[in-house]
Structure 1
Amino acid sequence: MLTPPEQFGIVEPGLYRSDTLHPSHFPFIRSLNIKTAILLTPELPSRAMSNFFEENQIRLIDLALGSWKNNNNNTTGDAQGNGSNNNNGSGSNPNQGESNFSTMVTSSIPVAPFHTSWWKPLSEELIKDGLEMILDAKNYPIIVMDTSGIHEIGTFMGCLRRLQHWNFSSIIVEYRAYAGNKARYVNEQFIELFDIDWITLPESLPNWWIEQEEMWHEEEEERELQLQQEREARANERQQELNAAASLALTLSNNPS
Protein backbone atom coordinates (compact mmCIF):
# COMPACT_ATOMS: atom_id res chain seq x y z
CA MET A 1 0.00 0.00 0.00
CA LEU A 2 1.36 3.42 -0.97
CA THR A 3 1.26 6.00 1.82
CA PRO A 4 1.72 9.68 0.88
CA PRO A 5 3.10 12.17 3.42
CA GLU A 6 0.47 13.95 5.51
CA GLN A 7 1.01 17.34 3.84
CA PHE A 8 1.60 15.99 0.34
CA GLY A 9 0.07 17.94 -2.53
CA ILE A 10 0.24 18.28 -6.30
CA VAL A 11 1.11 21.88 -7.15
CA GLU A 12 1.36 21.47 -10.92
CA PRO A 13 2.06 18.47 -13.20
CA GLY A 14 5.38 17.03 -12.05
CA LEU A 15 5.69 19.51 -9.15
CA TYR A 16 4.85 18.30 -5.64
CA ARG A 17 4.95 19.64 -2.08
CA SER A 18 5.40 17.72 1.15
CA ASP A 19 6.46 17.73 4.76
CA THR A 20 9.42 15.64 5.93
CA LEU A 21 9.59 12.15 4.43
CA HIS A 22 9.66 8.99 6.52
CA PRO A 23 10.43 5.43 5.41
CA SER A 24 6.71 4.60 5.17
CA HIS A 25 6.42 7.28 2.45
CA PHE A 26 9.32 6.05 0.30
CA PRO A 27 7.34 3.61 -1.91
CA PHE A 28 4.83 6.37 -2.74
CA ILE A 29 7.57 8.91 -3.51
CA ARG A 30 9.39 6.32 -5.65
CA SER A 31 6.24 5.93 -7.75
CA LEU A 32 6.46 9.62 -8.73
CA ASN A 33 9.87 9.14 -10.41
CA ILE A 34 11.20 12.24 -8.68
CA LYS A 35 14.38 13.70 -10.19
CA THR A 36 14.98 16.65 -7.82
CA ALA A 37 14.15 17.20 -4.15
CA ILE A 38 14.37 20.72 -2.69
CA LEU A 39 14.55 21.36 1.05
CA LEU A 40 13.50 24.78 2.39
CA THR A 41 14.39 24.35 6.06
CA PRO A 42 17.94 24.67 7.46
CA GLU A 43 18.38 21.18 8.81
CA LEU A 44 20.05 18.06 7.54
CA PRO A 45 17.82 15.28 6.20
CA SER A 46 17.68 12.02 8.10
CA ARG A 47 20.09 9.27 7.13
CA ALA A 48 17.16 7.17 5.87
CA MET A 49 15.94 9.99 3.61
CA SER A 50 19.45 10.71 2.32
CA ASN A 51 19.98 7.04 1.53
CA PHE A 52 16.62 6.86 -0.21
CA PHE A 53 17.48 9.82 -2.43
CA GLU A 54 20.87 8.34 -3.25
CA GLU A 55 19.51 4.90 -4.05
CA ASN A 56 16.88 6.38 -6.38
CA GLN A 57 19.22 8.85 -8.11
CA ILE A 58 17.30 11.85 -6.75
CA ARG A 59 19.31 15.07 -6.58
CA LEU A 60 18.90 16.72 -3.17
CA ILE A 61 19.13 20.53 -3.08
CA ASP A 62 19.27 21.91 0.45
CA LEU A 63 18.49 25.58 -0.22
CA ALA A 64 18.31 26.77 3.37
CA LEU A 65 21.79 25.41 4.17
CA GLY A 66 23.16 26.93 0.97
CA SER A 67 24.34 23.60 -0.41
CA TRP A 68 23.63 21.24 -3.27
CA LYS A 69 23.96 17.48 -2.84
CA ASN A 70 24.46 15.32 -5.88
CA ASN A 71 25.21 11.76 -6.86
CA ASN A 72 28.06 13.16 -8.95
CA ASN A 73 31.38 12.07 -7.52
CA ASN A 74 33.20 14.61 -9.70
CA THR A 75 31.38 17.53 -8.08
CA THR A 76 33.54 19.83 -6.01
CA GLY A 77 33.45 19.24 -2.31
CA ASP A 78 33.98 22.79 -1.09
CA ALA A 79 33.45 26.40 -2.07
CA GLN A 80 36.90 26.60 -3.65
CA GLY A 81 36.12 23.76 -6.07
CA ASN A 82 39.30 21.79 -5.32
CA GLY A 83 37.49 18.45 -5.53
CA SER A 84 38.30 17.58 -1.93
CA ASN A 85 35.70 16.41 0.54
CA ASN A 86 37.95 16.76 3.58
CA ASN A 87 36.97 18.36 6.84
CA ASN A 88 40.39 18.48 8.43
CA GLY A 89 42.82 18.21 5.52
CA SER A 90 43.71 14.64 6.42
CA GLY A 91 41.76 13.08 3.55
CA SER A 92 39.36 11.30 5.90
CA ASN A 93 35.62 11.59 5.60
CA PRO A 94 33.61 11.10 8.81
CA ASN A 95 30.54 10.18 6.76
CA GLN A 96 32.35 7.70 4.52
CA GLY A 97 30.28 4.55 4.06
CA GLU A 98 27.04 6.33 4.95
CA SER A 99 26.42 8.33 1.76
CA ASN A 100 28.10 9.07 -1.54
CA PHE A 101 26.54 12.53 -1.78
CA SER A 102 28.99 15.33 -2.41
CA THR A 103 28.27 18.93 -1.46
CA MET A 104 28.83 22.15 -3.35
CA VAL A 105 28.15 25.53 -1.76
CA THR A 106 26.38 27.84 -4.17
CA SER A 107 27.50 31.44 -4.37
CA SER A 108 24.00 32.89 -4.78
CA ILE A 109 22.52 31.33 -1.64
CA PRO A 110 23.55 32.43 1.87
CA VAL A 111 25.54 29.75 3.69
CA ALA A 112 24.23 28.45 7.02
CA PRO A 113 23.42 29.62 9.60
CA PHE A 114 20.24 30.62 7.82
CA HIS A 115 19.47 34.28 8.49
CA THR A 116 16.28 36.22 7.84
CA SER A 117 14.94 39.40 9.36
CA TRP A 118 12.59 39.12 12.32
CA TRP A 119 9.37 39.08 10.28
CA LYS A 120 10.43 37.07 7.23
CA PRO A 121 9.75 33.30 7.17
CA LEU A 122 12.27 32.92 4.31
CA SER A 123 14.88 35.08 2.62
CA GLU A 124 14.16 36.68 -0.74
CA GLU A 125 17.30 35.03 -2.12
CA LEU A 126 16.06 31.57 -1.19
CA ILE A 127 12.67 32.22 -2.79
CA LYS A 128 14.31 33.55 -5.96
CA ASP A 129 16.71 30.62 -6.32
CA GLY A 130 14.03 28.07 -5.46
CA LEU A 131 11.48 29.45 -7.92
CA GLU A 132 14.03 29.54 -10.71
CA MET A 133 14.83 25.89 -9.97
CA ILE A 134 11.23 24.71 -10.08
CA LEU A 135 10.69 26.65 -13.32
CA ASP A 136 13.56 24.80 -14.99
CA ALA A 137 12.16 21.83 -16.91
CA LYS A 138 15.51 20.01 -16.64
CA ASN A 139 14.85 19.45 -12.92
CA TYR A 140 11.50 17.65 -13.33
CA PRO A 141 9.77 15.90 -11.66
CA ILE A 142 10.37 17.92 -8.45
CA ILE A 143 9.29 17.64 -4.84
CA VAL A 144 9.64 20.64 -2.49
CA MET A 145 9.73 19.96 1.25
CA ASP A 146 9.99 21.60 4.63
CA THR A 147 9.71 20.21 8.15
CA SER A 148 6.00 20.87 8.66
CA GLY A 149 4.79 21.09 5.07
CA ILE A 150 3.04 24.33 6.05
CA HIS A 151 5.02 27.47 6.78
CA GLU A 152 8.11 27.79 4.58
CA ILE A 153 6.60 25.77 1.77
CA GLY A 154 3.28 27.63 2.00
CA THR A 155 5.11 30.93 1.67
CA PHE A 156 7.23 29.59 -1.18
CA MET A 157 4.24 28.28 -3.14
CA GLY A 158 2.34 31.49 -2.49
CA CYS A 159 5.14 33.40 -4.23
CA LEU A 160 4.93 30.92 -7.11
CA ARG A 161 1.19 31.60 -7.39
CA ARG A 162 1.92 35.33 -7.52
CA LEU A 163 4.25 34.62 -10.41
CA GLN A 164 1.42 32.64 -12.04
CA HIS A 165 -0.83 35.73 -11.89
CA TRP A 166 -3.21 34.27 -9.29
CA ASN A 167 -5.28 36.87 -7.46
CA PHE A 168 -4.22 37.30 -3.86
CA SER A 169 -7.48 35.98 -2.38
CA SER A 170 -7.04 32.65 -4.20
CA ILE A 171 -3.43 32.44 -3.01
CA ILE A 172 -4.48 32.88 0.61
CA VAL A 173 -7.26 30.31 0.25
CA GLU A 174 -4.71 27.73 -0.93
CA TYR A 175 -2.21 28.69 1.80
CA ARG A 176 -4.83 28.34 4.55
CA ALA A 177 -6.13 25.07 3.12
CA TYR A 178 -2.79 23.51 4.08
CA ALA A 179 -2.05 25.64 7.16
CA GLY A 180 -5.47 25.40 8.83
CA ASN A 181 -5.35 26.95 12.30
CA LYS A 182 -1.54 27.20 12.00
CA ALA A 183 -1.74 29.94 9.37
CA ARG A 184 0.54 32.91 10.05
CA TYR A 185 -0.22 36.46 8.99
CA VAL A 186 3.51 37.12 8.57
CA ASN A 187 3.66 34.46 5.85
CA GLU A 188 0.71 35.99 4.03
CA GLN A 189 2.32 39.43 4.28
CA PHE A 190 5.58 38.09 2.85
CA ILE A 191 3.72 36.58 -0.12
CA GLU A 192 1.94 39.86 -0.79
CA LEU A 193 5.11 41.97 -0.65
CA PHE A 194 7.49 39.65 -2.50
CA ASP A 195 8.82 41.26 -5.69
CA ILE A 196 8.10 38.77 -8.49
CA ASP A 197 9.95 40.95 -11.00
CA TRP A 198 13.14 39.72 -9.31
CA ILE A 199 12.67 36.25 -10.84
CA THR A 200 14.66 35.35 -13.97
CA LEU A 201 12.88 32.70 -16.01
CA PRO A 202 15.07 29.77 -17.14
CA GLU A 203 15.47 29.01 -20.83
CA SER A 204 13.85 25.58 -20.47
CA LEU A 205 10.38 26.02 -18.94
CA PRO A 206 7.95 23.23 -17.96
CA ASN A 207 4.98 22.65 -20.26
CA TRP A 208 2.42 23.60 -17.63
CA TRP A 209 4.05 27.03 -17.27
CA ILE A 210 4.17 27.63 -21.02
CA GLU A 211 0.51 26.62 -21.43
CA GLN A 212 -0.64 28.78 -18.52
CA GLU A 213 1.31 31.80 -19.75
CA GLU A 214 -0.20 31.45 -23.21
CA MET A 215 -3.69 31.28 -21.71
CA TRP A 216 -2.97 34.27 -19.47
CA HIS A 217 -1.72 36.37 -22.39
CA GLU A 218 -4.78 35.43 -24.43
CA GLU A 219 -7.05 36.42 -21.53
CA GLU A 220 -5.14 39.68 -21.12
CA GLU A 221 -5.57 40.44 -24.82
CA GLU A 222 -9.29 39.68 -24.58
CA ARG A 223 -9.64 41.93 -21.51
CA GLU A 224 -7.75 44.72 -23.24
CA LEU A 225 -9.94 44.35 -26.34
CA GLN A 226 -13.06 44.45 -24.17
CA LEU A 227 -11.82 47.54 -22.34
CA GLN A 228 -11.02 49.20 -25.66
CA GLN A 229 -14.52 48.44 -26.93
CA GLU A 230 -16.03 49.81 -23.72
CA ARG A 231 -13.94 52.98 -24.03
CA GLU A 232 -15.02 53.41 -27.64
CA ALA A 233 -18.68 52.83 -26.69
CA ARG A 234 -18.47 55.45 -23.93
CA ALA A 235 -16.77 57.86 -26.35
CA ASN A 236 -19.53 57.31 -28.92
CA GLU A 237 -22.22 57.87 -26.30
CA ARG A 238 -20.51 61.06 -25.20
CA GLN A 239 -20.23 62.25 -28.79
CA GLN A 240 -23.91 61.53 -29.37
CA GLU A 241 -24.78 63.52 -26.25
CA LEU A 242 -22.64 66.43 -27.48
CA ASN A 243 -24.23 66.24 -30.93
CA ALA A 244 -27.70 66.22 -29.43
CA ALA A 245 -26.86 69.19 -27.23
CA ALA A 246 -25.43 71.11 -30.19
CA SER A 247 -28.49 70.31 -32.30
CA LEU A 248 -30.80 71.52 -29.52
CA ALA A 249 -28.81 74.70 -29.12
CA LEU A 250 -28.98 75.35 -32.88
CA THR A 251 -32.72 74.74 -32.89
CA LEU A 252 -33.26 77.16 -30.01
CA SER A 253 -31.10 79.81 -31.66
CA ASN A 254 -33.09 79.57 -34.92
CA ASN A 255 -36.43 79.69 -33.13
CA PRO A 256 -36.18 82.31 -30.42
CA SER A 257 -39.24 82.55 -28.19
Structure 2
Amino acid sequence: MTRPLYPPFRFAAVEEDLFRGALPKPRNYRFLLRLHLKTILSLTPQPPPVSMYQFASQNTIQLVHIRVDKPKDSVPLTYAKVGALLNTIIDPNNLPMFIHCLDGVIVTGVVIMCLRKLQCWNVPSATIEFTRFVKEGVIGSDEAEFIEKFQYEFEIGKSLPKWLWNGNPTFRKHPSLKVRLPPPPTQPDDAQAPGGGKGEREDMRRRVNAELMLEKPNSTNNSSDTRTRGRNAPYTDDEEEDMSRTLQALALEVPTYSPRV
Protein backbone atom coordinates (compact mmCIF):
# COMPACT_ATOMS: atom_id res chain seq x y z
CA MET A 1 0.00 0.00 0.00
CA THR A 2 1.35 3.41 -1.01
CA ARG A 3 1.90 5.78 1.85
CA PRO A 4 0.14 9.16 1.57
CA LEU A 5 2.11 12.33 0.90
CA TYR A 6 1.83 15.21 3.34
CA PRO A 7 2.86 18.70 2.18
CA PRO A 8 4.20 21.17 4.76
CA PHE A 9 1.67 23.37 6.51
CA ARG A 10 0.59 26.33 4.33
CA PHE A 11 2.44 24.88 1.36
CA ALA A 12 1.96 26.71 -1.96
CA ALA A 13 3.69 27.19 -5.28
CA VAL A 14 4.93 30.76 -5.77
CA GLU A 15 6.31 30.31 -9.28
CA GLU A 16 7.69 27.47 -11.33
CA ASP A 17 10.37 25.75 -9.20
CA LEU A 18 9.71 28.09 -6.25
CA PHE A 19 7.62 26.96 -3.26
CA ARG A 20 6.73 28.28 0.18
CA GLY A 21 5.35 26.98 3.45
CA ALA A 22 5.94 26.42 7.16
CA LEU A 23 8.80 24.55 8.83
CA PRO A 24 8.69 20.99 7.43
CA LYS A 25 8.27 18.02 9.72
CA PRO A 26 9.67 14.53 9.05
CA ARG A 27 6.38 13.33 7.60
CA ASN A 28 6.65 16.11 4.96
CA TYR A 29 10.02 14.97 3.62
CA ARG A 30 8.65 12.45 1.13
CA PHE A 31 6.49 15.17 -0.37
CA LEU A 32 9.43 17.59 -0.62
CA LEU A 33 11.45 14.87 -2.31
CA ARG A 34 8.96 14.91 -5.19
CA LEU A 35 9.83 18.57 -5.88
CA HIS A 36 13.45 17.71 -6.86
CA LEU A 37 14.69 20.59 -4.73
CA LYS A 38 18.15 22.09 -5.03
CA THR A 39 17.76 24.49 -2.10
CA ILE A 40 15.79 24.82 1.13
CA LEU A 41 15.86 28.35 2.56
CA SER A 42 15.05 28.34 6.29
CA LEU A 43 14.13 31.70 7.86
CA THR A 44 13.83 30.72 11.52
CA PRO A 45 15.19 31.85 14.91
CA GLN A 46 17.01 28.54 15.46
CA PRO A 47 18.71 26.21 12.97
CA PRO A 48 16.50 23.49 11.47
CA PRO A 49 16.30 20.14 13.28
CA VAL A 50 18.95 17.48 12.72
CA SER A 51 16.50 15.31 10.78
CA MET A 52 16.09 18.07 8.22
CA TYR A 53 19.84 18.40 7.75
CA GLN A 54 20.05 14.64 7.27
CA PHE A 55 17.23 14.69 4.73
CA ALA A 56 18.96 17.48 2.78
CA SER A 57 22.35 15.77 2.88
CA GLN A 58 20.99 12.40 1.75
CA ASN A 59 19.21 13.99 -1.22
CA THR A 60 21.89 16.48 -2.32
CA ILE A 61 19.83 19.49 -1.27
CA GLN A 62 21.52 22.69 -0.13
CA LEU A 63 20.01 23.68 3.23
CA VAL A 64 20.57 27.38 3.96
CA HIS A 65 19.60 28.78 7.36
CA ILE A 66 19.19 32.54 7.78
CA ARG A 67 18.46 33.57 11.34
CA VAL A 68 15.22 35.54 11.55
CA ASP A 69 13.54 36.23 14.88
CA LYS A 70 9.94 35.31 15.52
CA PRO A 71 7.60 38.22 14.64
CA LYS A 72 6.40 40.15 17.67
CA ASP A 73 5.79 43.88 17.57
CA SER A 74 7.37 44.51 14.15
CA VAL A 75 8.64 42.76 11.05
CA PRO A 76 11.88 40.98 12.07
CA LEU A 77 13.55 41.74 8.75
CA THR A 78 15.59 44.55 7.23
CA TYR A 79 15.52 45.77 3.66
CA ALA A 80 19.13 44.63 3.21
CA LYS A 81 18.38 41.12 4.45
CA VAL A 82 15.33 40.76 2.21
CA GLY A 83 17.32 42.04 -0.76
CA ALA A 84 20.05 39.47 -0.12
CA LEU A 85 17.41 36.74 0.18
CA LEU A 86 15.85 37.76 -3.12
CA ASN A 87 19.24 37.62 -4.83
CA THR A 88 19.44 34.00 -3.69
CA ILE A 89 15.89 33.24 -4.79
CA ILE A 90 16.22 34.63 -8.33
CA ASP A 91 19.45 32.77 -9.04
CA PRO A 92 18.50 29.88 -11.38
CA ASN A 93 21.36 27.82 -9.93
CA ASN A 94 19.41 27.59 -6.64
CA LEU A 95 16.12 26.43 -8.16
CA PRO A 96 13.93 24.48 -7.48
CA MET A 97 13.70 26.02 -4.00
CA PHE A 98 11.49 25.70 -0.93
CA ILE A 99 11.42 28.77 1.34
CA HIS A 100 9.90 28.62 4.81
CA CYS A 101 9.69 30.30 8.20
CA LEU A 102 8.14 28.90 11.39
CA ASP A 103 4.50 29.13 10.33
CA GLY A 104 4.72 30.19 6.67
CA VAL A 105 2.93 33.49 7.25
CA ILE A 106 4.68 36.73 8.25
CA VAL A 107 8.36 36.24 7.41
CA THR A 108 7.83 34.14 4.31
CA GLY A 109 4.94 36.35 3.25
CA VAL A 110 6.96 39.57 3.49
CA VAL A 111 9.80 38.08 1.43
CA ILE A 112 7.36 36.94 -1.27
CA MET A 113 5.66 40.36 -1.30
CA CYS A 114 9.04 41.97 -1.96
CA LEU A 115 9.70 39.42 -4.69
CA ARG A 116 6.40 40.44 -6.30
CA LYS A 117 7.52 44.06 -6.16
CA LEU A 118 10.71 43.09 -7.97
CA GLN A 119 8.51 41.32 -10.54
CA CYS A 120 6.75 44.67 -11.10
CA TRP A 121 3.53 43.69 -9.32
CA ASN A 122 1.69 46.61 -7.78
CA VAL A 123 1.49 46.71 -4.00
CA PRO A 124 -2.27 45.99 -3.72
CA SER A 125 -1.89 42.76 -5.72
CA ALA A 126 1.07 41.62 -3.61
CA THR A 127 -0.91 42.46 -0.47
CA ILE A 128 -3.90 40.38 -1.56
CA GLU A 129 -1.64 37.36 -2.05
CA PHE A 130 -0.16 37.92 1.42
CA THR A 131 -3.59 37.92 3.10
CA ARG A 132 -4.45 34.48 1.69
CA PHE A 133 -2.06 32.96 4.22
CA VAL A 134 -3.21 35.06 7.19
CA LYS A 135 -5.92 33.62 9.41
CA GLU A 136 -7.69 36.96 9.78
CA GLY A 137 -7.35 37.70 6.06
CA VAL A 138 -5.95 41.17 6.80
CA ILE A 139 -2.40 42.46 6.46
CA GLY A 140 -0.87 44.15 9.50
CA SER A 141 0.19 47.78 9.42
CA ASP A 142 3.87 46.88 9.90
CA GLU A 143 3.87 44.45 6.97
CA ALA A 144 1.97 46.92 4.78
CA GLU A 145 4.48 49.67 5.56
CA PHE A 146 7.41 47.32 4.91
CA ILE A 147 6.33 46.42 1.37
CA GLU A 148 5.35 50.01 0.60
CA LYS A 149 8.75 51.41 1.60
CA PHE A 150 10.92 48.45 0.62
CA GLN A 151 14.03 49.55 -1.29
CA TYR A 152 17.17 47.72 -2.29
CA GLU A 153 19.74 48.09 -5.05
CA PHE A 154 19.73 44.87 -7.03
CA GLU A 155 22.55 43.91 -9.35
CA ILE A 156 21.00 41.52 -11.83
CA GLY A 157 23.03 38.74 -13.43
CA LYS A 158 22.81 37.59 -17.03
CA SER A 159 20.86 34.44 -16.15
CA LEU A 160 17.33 34.77 -14.75
CA PRO A 161 14.36 32.45 -14.22
CA LYS A 162 11.61 32.77 -16.80
CA TRP A 163 9.14 34.08 -14.21
CA LEU A 164 11.28 37.17 -13.59
CA TRP A 165 10.70 39.56 -16.51
CA ASN A 166 10.40 36.53 -18.79
CA GLY A 167 14.10 35.89 -18.19
CA ASN A 168 15.09 39.00 -20.14
CA PRO A 169 14.32 42.52 -18.83
CA THR A 170 13.04 44.86 -21.54
CA PHE A 171 13.31 47.99 -19.39
CA ARG A 172 16.34 50.04 -18.42
CA LYS A 173 14.74 51.45 -15.26
CA HIS A 174 12.60 49.52 -12.78
CA PRO A 175 9.34 51.32 -11.89
CA SER A 176 9.85 51.16 -8.11
CA LEU A 177 13.26 49.65 -7.23
CA LYS A 178 16.91 50.33 -8.00
CA VAL A 179 17.98 47.64 -10.43
CA ARG A 180 21.34 47.42 -12.17
CA LEU A 181 20.96 45.41 -15.34
CA PRO A 182 23.85 43.75 -17.19
CA PRO A 183 25.12 45.79 -20.16
CA PRO A 184 23.67 44.80 -23.54
CA PRO A 185 25.93 42.58 -25.65
CA THR A 186 28.11 44.46 -28.12
CA GLN A 187 29.30 43.27 -31.50
CA PRO A 188 32.82 43.96 -32.80
CA ASP A 189 33.16 46.35 -35.71
CA ASP A 190 34.41 43.63 -37.99
CA ALA A 191 31.60 41.20 -37.13
CA GLN A 192 30.43 39.21 -40.10
CA ALA A 193 27.08 40.21 -41.55
CA PRO A 194 24.98 38.14 -43.96
CA GLY A 195 26.34 40.22 -46.84
CA GLY A 196 30.01 39.54 -45.99
CA GLY A 197 32.82 41.19 -44.02
CA LYS A 198 33.65 44.85 -43.60
CA GLY A 199 36.03 44.93 -46.57
CA GLU A 200 33.49 43.32 -48.85
CA ARG A 201 30.81 45.79 -47.80
CA GLU A 202 33.15 48.68 -48.62
CA ASP A 203 33.68 47.24 -52.09
CA MET A 204 29.92 47.02 -52.54
CA ARG A 205 29.48 50.63 -51.47
CA ARG A 206 32.02 51.88 -54.00
CA ARG A 207 30.48 49.69 -56.63
CA VAL A 208 26.94 50.94 -56.17
CA ASN A 209 28.15 54.53 -56.19
CA ALA A 210 29.79 53.90 -59.53
CA GLU A 211 26.63 52.28 -60.87
CA LEU A 212 24.46 55.17 -59.82
CA MET A 213 26.63 57.82 -61.41
CA LEU A 214 25.47 59.13 -64.79
CA GLU A 215 27.63 57.73 -67.50
CA LYS A 216 29.37 60.18 -69.80
CA PRO A 217 28.44 59.87 -73.49
CA ASN A 218 30.86 57.81 -75.50
CA SER A 219 33.06 59.98 -77.74
CA THR A 220 32.99 57.40 -80.54
CA ASN A 221 31.55 58.50 -83.85
CA ASN A 222 29.47 55.35 -84.09
CA SER A 223 26.06 56.72 -83.12
CA SER A 224 24.53 53.26 -83.24
CA ASP A 225 26.60 51.99 -80.28
CA THR A 226 23.93 50.72 -77.89
CA ARG A 227 26.32 50.91 -74.93
CA THR A 228 26.15 54.73 -75.04
CA ARG A 229 23.58 55.64 -72.41
CA GLY A 230 21.96 58.97 -71.65
CA ARG A 231 20.21 60.08 -68.48
CA ASN A 232 17.02 58.08 -69.04
CA ALA A 233 18.36 55.11 -71.00
CA PRO A 234 17.45 51.74 -69.42
CA TYR A 235 19.97 49.40 -67.86
CA THR A 236 20.43 45.92 -69.25
CA ASP A 237 18.89 42.95 -67.39
CA ASP A 238 22.29 41.83 -66.09
CA GLU A 239 23.09 45.33 -64.80
CA GLU A 240 19.73 45.66 -63.05
CA GLU A 241 20.11 42.26 -61.37
CA ASP A 242 23.65 43.10 -60.27
CA MET A 243 22.59 46.48 -58.85
CA SER A 244 19.63 44.89 -57.06
CA ARG A 245 21.91 42.44 -55.26
CA THR A 246 24.26 45.26 -54.29
CA LEU A 247 21.49 47.44 -52.87
CA GLN A 248 20.08 44.50 -50.90
CA ALA A 249 23.48 43.83 -49.39
CA LEU A 250 23.91 47.48 -48.42
CA ALA A 251 20.44 47.54 -46.86
CA LEU A 252 21.67 45.01 -44.32
CA GLU A 253 23.92 47.70 -42.86
CA VAL A 254 21.09 50.10 -42.02
CA PRO A 255 20.90 50.18 -38.18
CA THR A 256 17.53 49.42 -36.67
CA TYR A 257 15.97 51.92 -34.31
CA SER A 258 15.33 50.54 -30.86
CA PRO A 259 13.25 52.89 -28.71
CA ARG A 260 14.39 53.37 -25.16
CA VAL A 261 11.84 52.12 -22.68
- TM norm structure 2: 0.59
**Residue 39 of structure 1 contacts residue 61 of structure 1 at CA under 8 Å; is this kept in 2?**
yes
Q: Which residue of structure 2 lines up, in the alignment, with residue 192 of structure 1?
A: 148
Query: What is the aligned counterpart of 2:45 among 29, 32, 42?
Result: 42
Q: Which residue of structure 1 lines up, in the alignment, with residue 23 of structure 2?
A: 20
Count of residues in Structure 1 that have an aligned counterpart in Structure 2: 169
Looking at CA atoms only, which structure, 1 or 2, has the larger radius of gyration?
Answer: 2
The 3-state SS of whatever aligns with 1:170 is: helix
**Residue 131 of structure 1 contacts residue 160 of structure 1 at CA under 8 Å; is this kept in 2?**
yes
Query: What is the aligned counterpart of 1:138 among 69, 87, 93?
Result: 93
Deviations 1:47-81 (A, max 9, x none): 1111111111110111227xxxxxxxxxxxxxxxx
Query: What is the aligned counterpart of 2:65 among 62, 65, 88?
Result: 62
Deviations 1:88-141 (A, max 9, x none): xxxxxxxxxxxxxxxxxxxxxxxxxx6999743312222011100011111111
For 2:158 and 2:169, the matched residues in 1 are separated by 16
Q: Which residue of structure 2 lines up, in the alignment, with residue 148 of structure 1?
A: 103
Query: What is the aligned counterpart of 2:82 among 127, 144, 167?
Result: 127
The 3-state SS of whatever aligns with 1:6 is: coil
Unaligned segments of structure 2, at least 5 residues: 176-261
Q: Which stretches of structure 1, 4 residues or longer, exceed 3 Å deviation after superposition?
A: 114-120, 212-217
The 3-state SS of whatever aligns with 1:180 is: coil
**Residue 20 of structure 1 contacts residue 147 of structure 1 at CA under 8 Å; is this kept in 2?**
yes
Q: RMSD of aligned C-alpha atoms?
A: 2.6
1:4 maps to amino acid: P
**Residue 8 of structure 1 contacts residue 16 of structure 1 at CA under 8 Å; is this kept in 2?**
yes
Deviation, structure 1 residue 150: 0.2
2:214 is the counterpart of 1:211: no
The 3-state SS of whatever aligns with 1:25 is: helix
For 1:210 and 1:168, the matched residues in 2 are separated by 17
Unaligned segments of structure 1, at least 5 residues: 66-113, 221-257
For 2:142 and 2:17, the matched residues in 1 are separated by 29
Q: Which has the higher helix share?
A: 1
CA distance 1:25–1:212, change in 2 (3 Å): same
CA distance 1:55–1:45, change in 2 (3 Å): same
Deviations 1:172-207 (A, max 9, x none): 1000001131742211211111014x2222332112
Higher RCO (CA-CA < 8 Å; seq separation 6+)? 1
The 3-state SS of whatever aligns with 2:163 is: helix
2:169 is the counterpart of 1:166: no
CA distance 1:184–1:136, change in 2 (3 Å): same
CA distance 1:62–1:202, change in 2 (3 Å): farther
**Residue 136 of structure 1 contacts residue 203 of structure 1 at CA under 8 Å; is this kept in 2?**
no
For 1:22 and 1:117, the matched residues in 2 are separated by 24
Deviations 1:142-195 (A, max 9, x none): 111100100100000000011111111111100000113174221121111101
